[in-house]
Amino acid sequence: MKILVTGGAGFIGSAVVRHIMSCTDHSVVNVDKLTYAGNLESLAGISQGQRYQFEQVDICDRPALDRIFAQQRPDAIMHLAAESHVDRSIDGPAAFIETNIVGTYTLLESARQYWLGLDEERRERFRFHHVSTDEVYGDLDGPNALFVEDTAYAPSSPYSASKASSDHLVRAWGRTYGLPTLLTNCSNNYGPYHFPEKLIPLVILNALEGKPLPIYGKGDQVRDWLYVEDHARALLTVLEKGRVGETYNIGGHNEKQNLDVVQYICDLLDQRRPQRPGGLASYRELIQFVADRPGHDRRYAIDAGKIQRDLGWLPEESFESGIAKTVDWYLENTQWCHNVQNGSYQRQRLGVGGREAT
């Protein structure tokens, strides 16, 4: 297949692109606006391959999308382009409305026009896979409840509300127009190439520099943690084997309180980098509790039984194995981290084979 991946320079998107390029014979057209979270250095190992092409395009730009569909003629779409940071959505929700809602609508309409022009065989094979989040469900009551595919939506933040809106659009385009859609909702991802504003990379990099490790409230919020490379495998599995019109929840089977996650990372760093800054006895000494985020959900947890039963997918990494790999990756890839922290990655806007939107 030729797969058009939106947001392929982001954290999850780049993992998907790397997985497709290294584990399949499919080709990829990566469409990414390259906002602050888009980093072409995360694709340095595959950007010169003949099966890979890059287009610096905003998914809100309909003429540019129409051109890409006409020129590239993809067999499937994996839609991962999104604004995704909850704190940023609270401070400035407009970008989330524009990208996550208007952008998804624009992509759906461009894809629908393209799909209608395909011959019958290609139209039957075509797929539009929309990648979403478990945050659309709100939070859970009690310690044993789990999100399932038909859990009612109850988003708490501007980010999750915008993703819920995009989910509804995708389902509506499937039902009203017959566009062959697939939808997935995932739990919290972590792993290599994660932008340092998110909890796990922020903790790792702050600890190494002797900076405070901020934890909202008491740190008792519970999340199900999913290693990003397991997620990438799951997404391709859904694209290749999923039933049109279905939703699949993807989780890591690893529920942890935020405080436990931070403490575990500190303990790993104590083992791997015992020469601590400032004469610290343990990196745990850097933990600081800060005022909680407005509307902070208490607990997310996914029942991923459907994707296991129907498609045979299971995560390969436990939290312990995945977080160890993640910490080691950040310790071994200091140049990538340094380029993100000083902003120099944003000056490398185009890779080999890429083109900038006009």
Q: Which residues are catalytic?
A: 134-135, 159
Spatial distance between the Cα atoms of 96 and 84, rounded to a whole number of angstroms: 8
Q: Give the C-alpha separation, 190 to 12, whole Å.
A: 9
Cα separation, 154 vs 157, in Å, equals 10
| Contact between residue 129 and residue 238 where contact means Cβ atoms under 8 Å apart | yes
CA distance 95 to 117: 32
Q: Say how far apart CA 134 and CA 183 lie, in whole Å.
A: 12
| Alpha-carbon distances of 327 from 67, 164, 204, 205, 273, rounded to whole Å | 41, 32, 7, 10, 11
How far apart are alpha carbons 147 and 358 in whole angstroms?
43
Q: 3-state DSSP call for residue 188? A: strand
What's the CA gap between 112 and 116, in Å, rounded?
Answer: 6
Q: Would you call 332 exposed, middle or buried from its count of C-beta atoms within 10 A (0-12, 13-18, 19+)?
A: exposed
Q: CA torsion angle for 100, 103, 108, 114 (degrees, to 10)?
A: -150
Instruction: Please give the Cα distance from 14 to 39 (Å, whole number).
Output: 9
In 3D space, the residue among 255, 345, 332, 357 whose CA is nearest the CA of residue 44 turns out to be 345
CA pair distance 65, 106, nearest whole angstrom: 9
How much is the CA Rg of the chain, to the nearest whole Å? 20
Backbone angles phi, psi at 166, to 5 degrees: -65, -35
* d(C-alpha 193, C-alpha 335), whole Å: 12
